[in-house]
Amino acid sequence: MTFLRTVTLSALTLLSLVACKSIPSYSADYDKANKEISGILLNDEQALLIGQRFVSAFNTMGTVDFVKNTGRLYADHLYINDTLSQFSTKNELIKHFGGMNEHVSNVSVKLISATHTDDSAYIHWHMVYDFKMFGRIKTMSSYGISQIKINNKGLIIFQQDYWDPANGLYRSLPYVGNAYSLLLPFKK
């Protein structure tokens, strides 16, 4: 058991370091993008429409229409950080969505609320989906908020997702969840 725990801890540490390397300056990138990327000033109705379009597109995740539907939401050049990955072009994002789409099914995304401040809409959502990994399917559930800015064509030019991947994803994954629990046994 000690050997397994050591191997698991080593593997997760390495994985964490590799993952951290992909976004070395998350806070600085967010600060810069948030200051430099300005969307149109929003009202309540526009914020709600952004939320409805966002939820509608992500409700097709796991289907053949998902990549096409989300492709209609985003501008060619953008800033998006979904907590696990960061992108600056629509092409990179759509490629990511294509890969992600292969691992999910039975997706249900509900819009909880949509608010705004100046040019940022804050979309509060709840997502439930089946995730396939290592030949197993696990139902996942996560709450989150997405800060979204759109251009004058209604396309997303800035998106920062706020959600808890530890509890919304990692803890539920086959094998990974057990290893994660070994690392953070105090978090139930």
Percent of the chain whose pLDDT exceeds 90: 63
Check whether 187 has a pLDDT greater than 60.
no
Q: What is the mean pLDDT of residues 128-138?
A: 86
Range 72-85 average pLDDT:
94
Task: Sheet containing 104-117: give its strands across.
Answer: 86-89, 74-81, 156-163, 136-150, 120-133, 104-117
List the structure tokens of 173.
Answer: 């994954």
Model pTM score: 0.78
Q: What was the pLDDT predicted at 180?
A: 47
Helices vs strands, H then E, count in the chain:
7, 6
pLDDT band with cut points at 50, 70 and 90 for residue 2: low
**Where exactly are the structural domains of the chain?**
25-179
Taking residues 80-92, report their average pLDDT. 92
Instruction: Please write the tens of the pLDDT for every residue from 9-50.
Output: 455 554 554 554 445 577 899 999 999 999 999 999 999 999
CATH fold of the domain at 25-179: Nuclear Transport Factor 2; Chain: A, (3.10.450)
| Residue 174, pLDDT score | 52
Contacts of 73 (CB under 8 A, 6+ apart): 53, 54, 57, 155, 156
